[in-house]
Structure 1
Amino acid sequence: PTFNPAFLVEDEFAYPVSLNGKMKMNLQLSLTLTQPEAEEILFADEQFQKYLDGKAIKKIIFVKGKIINVVV
């Protein structure tokens, strides 16, 4: 077998999604996504919409490669 460094690079991450500081779900996203792209995917997710329950979002904290936190 030969060594291929391309296989060691991770391109996806299971972002923990918190709502008001409480962990609600994990969302598998690419590590190359920007905040607006990640928000678009998050808002389209049915499970997240159930947690949001029609509440207005005040702030979104997105730390690339770490966490997504939504404050309502």
Structure 2
Amino acid sequence: MYSPGTPPRMETWEELRDWTRKEFERIATALQEQVAVDLRPVNAPPTRPREGMLVFADGTDWNPGAGRGVYVFNNSVWVKL
């Protein structure tokens, strides 16, 4: 999991470049090590759903149609997986 580092005091553009490169390397490493997706239950639909979006509906405050569970936005509707 990536957590941003605090930028050190930098005197030159080269120091900024080097620090930025190292942060991007840390981000890339964290993304490569990702083995699972952690979906937290949501109680309202996303404001701008996009094709292929995954959500975990809580099934109470927001029930896309088949109760609590994981849904994918496909062809303008939420489909339970």
Q: Tell me, yes or no, whether TM beats 0.5.
A: no
Q: Which structure has greater helix proportion?
A: 1
Q: Which structure has greater strand proportion?
A: 1
User: Which of the pair has the greater relative contact order for Cα pairs under 8 Å at 6+ separation?
Assistant: 1
Q: TM-score, normalised by structure 1?
A: 0.26
